[in-house]
């Protein structure tokens, strides 16, 4: 096939330049106010199969949700067949939004984010966890049975989200798995509080950070090469909800999600919640294991222009995840009659604060209406929202949702600040709806 006849997708076309893509697809780009010109809105409506009702406030540079095609799903052992595989070595897979409709994420629907190859032939009777380090008063090793019998057990719903969730929307594109929306979930986790185990070992006054080590194997096959070793500051480690967990939704944690033992730090990047856990180190400094240094799981300390090269010393470690929300019903692309109200529902979460409000818009963010919002099951669990949406006339619409946390921080309507690794995209989620 020659270059002239080669076809590319809409995402790739927009990545080559939004203004150029809009002119090629719709015949025009932005007006002076930053909205798509009327002629372009009409052309876009033709492609969508219905006129865009609030087209005068459609932002330039935004791919319509009705044309943002989802990836083709594949099946993974122990996982729902609808999960979308992004990489097979190591395995990484995300969950389409409509499969995240459960209030408590089923184990087979939780996303998979692996950096190495999970251990095989796990013997839970021989599995141990060692606590050591310069900030520990002693070195101590526990069997899994000892952890279960020695310490009080706790169960929490805790939200885990990959730091790169939403990476596929950044432009210029960022390296890494091109997550769209589904690298998030909120199952129940059962285990013991990390702080109870650390206090049993003894914490020195110089303790600053904890780091973890798992038993996954590096994709190079080298047994002595550590795959990933991240961690959290002591104040996060000592929170009530920070767990050493062995169960998800009352059953063994799935093999791809860390069986038989893992850390769970709700509200922080999921990479902090080490899987196949066999060692924790109490450090007297910021932990410096693989993927803790350089630019891994870091963003520029100050805003930068898209495409900027940022020095390592100007990058800051990601801690609490930003406020975010997701529409899980209905699935994008649906059609209803104008006489009907459209029920919507989904979840909202933030890295530490509770969610105070969730609102929806049908006019590309020009006006907002409040949703009903449920209280969280516990701190660091996501919260559920719902609303009934009515439409003034027939045509193409997008329903957007925006969450606001208890610190009055709201999601941005469009992409937040660009960063080299494509982290922390918490732009408003939107679905396409045609009204007939």
Residues 34 and 158 reside in one and the same domain: no
Domain of residue 47, residue span: 10-63
Q: Identify whether 96 is part of a domain.
A: yes
Angle at which helices 18-26 and 38-48 pack, to 10 degrees?
70
Query: How sure is the predictor about 346, in pLDDT bands with cuts at 50, 70 and 90?
Result: very high
CB 285: neighbour CB atoms within 10 A? 10
Q: What is the pLDDT of residue 136?
A: 98
Q: Identify whether 77 is part of a domain.
A: no
Alpha-helical runs (H) found in 16-120:
18-26, 38-48
Q: Full-prediction pTM beyond 0.85?
A: yes
Residues 45 and 171 reside in one and the same domain: no
Apex 417 CA angle, 164 and 414, nearest 5: 90
Residues 270 and 192 reside in one and the same domain: yes
Cβ-based burial of 215 (10 A; exposed 0-12, middle 13-18, buried ≥19): middle
Residues 160 and 239 reside in one and the same domain: yes
Q: Which of 302, 317, 332 is the endpoint of a domain?
A: 317
Strand, helix or coil for residue 3? helix
Residues 33 and 142 reside in one and the same domain: no
Q: Which of 291, 317, 343 is the endpoint of a domain?
A: 317
DSSP β-bridge partners for residue 403: 358
What does the CA dihedral 428, 434, 435, 436 come to, rounded to 10 degrees?
Answer: 180
Burial 43-54 (b: 16+ CB within 10 A, else e): bbbeebebbbbb
Q: Residue 138 maps to which CATH number? A: 3.90.420.10
Residues 24 and 118 reside in one and the same domain: no
Q: What is the tally of structural domains in the chain? A: 2
Residues 178 and 263 reside in one and the same domain: yes
Q: What is the pLDDT of residue 1?
A: 32
pLDDT tens-digit map of 78-137: 899 899 988 877 889 999 999 999 999 999 999 999 999 899 889 999 999 999 999 999
Residues 144 and 47 reside in one and the same domain: no
Residues 193 and 113 reside in one and the same domain: yes
| Closest residue by Cα to residue 212 from 256, 270, 278, 264 | 278
| Closest residue by Cα to residue 325 from 353, 357, 365 | 357
Q: Which long-range contacts (CB under 8 A, 24 or more apart) does 73-82 make?
A: 76/112, 76/256, 77/255, 77/256, 78/107, 78/108, 78/254, 78/255, 78/256, 79/108, 79/109, 79/112, 79/254, 79/256, 80/106, 80/108, 80/109
Residues 138 and 185 reside in one and the same domain: yes
Residues 97 and 45 reside in one and the same domain: no
Query: By 3-state DSSP, what share of the chain in percent is helix, strand and coil, each rounded to 5?
Result: 15, 30, 55
Q: What is the pLDDT of residue 379?
A: 98
Sheet containing strand 334-336, strands side by side: 334-336, 429-435, 395-405, 355-361, 369-370
Query: How sure is the predictor about 47, in pLDDT bands with cuts at 50, 70 and 90?
Result: confident
């Amino acid at each position: 096939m020659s270059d002239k006849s080669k076809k590319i997708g809409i995402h790739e076309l927009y990545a080559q330049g939004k203004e150029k893509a809009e002119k090629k697809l719709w015949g025009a780009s932005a007006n002076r106010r930053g909205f798509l010109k009327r002629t372009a809105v009409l052309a876009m409506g033709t492609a969508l199969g219905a006129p865009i009702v609030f087209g005068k406030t459609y932002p330039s540079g935004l791919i319509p949700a009705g044309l943002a095609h989802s990836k083709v799903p594949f099946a993974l052992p122990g996982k729902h067949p609808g999960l979308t595989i992004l990489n097979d070595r190591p395995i990484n897979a995300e969950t389409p939004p409509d499969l995240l409709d459960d209030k408590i994420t089923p184990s087979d629907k939780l996303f998979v984010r692996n950096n190495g190859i999970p251990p095989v032939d796990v013997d839970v009777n021989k599995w141990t966890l060692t606590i050591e380090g310069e900030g520990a008063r002693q070195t101590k090793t526990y069997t899994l049975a000892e952890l279960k019998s020695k310490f009080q057990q706790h169960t929490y719903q805790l939200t885990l989200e990959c730091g790169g969730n939403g990476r596929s929307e950044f432009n210029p594109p960022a390296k890494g798995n091109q997550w769209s929306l589904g690298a998030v979930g909120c199952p129940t986790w059962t285990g013991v509080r990390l702080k109870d185990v650390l206090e049993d070992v003894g914490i020195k006054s110089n303790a600053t950070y904890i780091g973890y080590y798992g038993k996954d194997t590096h994709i190079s096959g080298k047994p002595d090469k550590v795959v990933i070793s991240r961690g959290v500051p002591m104040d996060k480690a000592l929170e009530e909800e920070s767990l050493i967990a062995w169960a998800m939704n009352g059953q063994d944690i799935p093999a791809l999600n860390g069986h038989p033992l893992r850390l769970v730090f709700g509200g922080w990047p999921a990479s902090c919640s080490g899987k196949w856990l066999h060692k924790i180190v109490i450090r007297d400094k910021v932990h410096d294991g693989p993927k803790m240094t350089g630019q891994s799981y870091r963003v520029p300390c100050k805003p930068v222009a898209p495409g900027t090269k940022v020095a390592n010393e100007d990058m800051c470690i990601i801690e609490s995840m930003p406020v975010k929300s997701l529409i899980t019903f209905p699935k994008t692309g649906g059609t209803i009659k104008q006489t009907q109200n459209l029920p919507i529902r989904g979840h909202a979460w933030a890295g530490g604060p509770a969610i105070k409000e969730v609102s929806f818009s049908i006019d590309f963010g020009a006006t907002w209406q409040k949703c009903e919002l449920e209280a969280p099951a516990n701190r660091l669990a996501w919260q559920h929202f719902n609303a009934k949406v009515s439409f003034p006339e027939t045509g193409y619409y997008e329903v957007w949702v925006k969450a606001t946390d208890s610190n009055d921080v709201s999601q941005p309507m469009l992409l937040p600040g660009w960063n080299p690794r494509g982290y922390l995209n918490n732009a408003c989620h939107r679905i396409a709806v045609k009204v007939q």
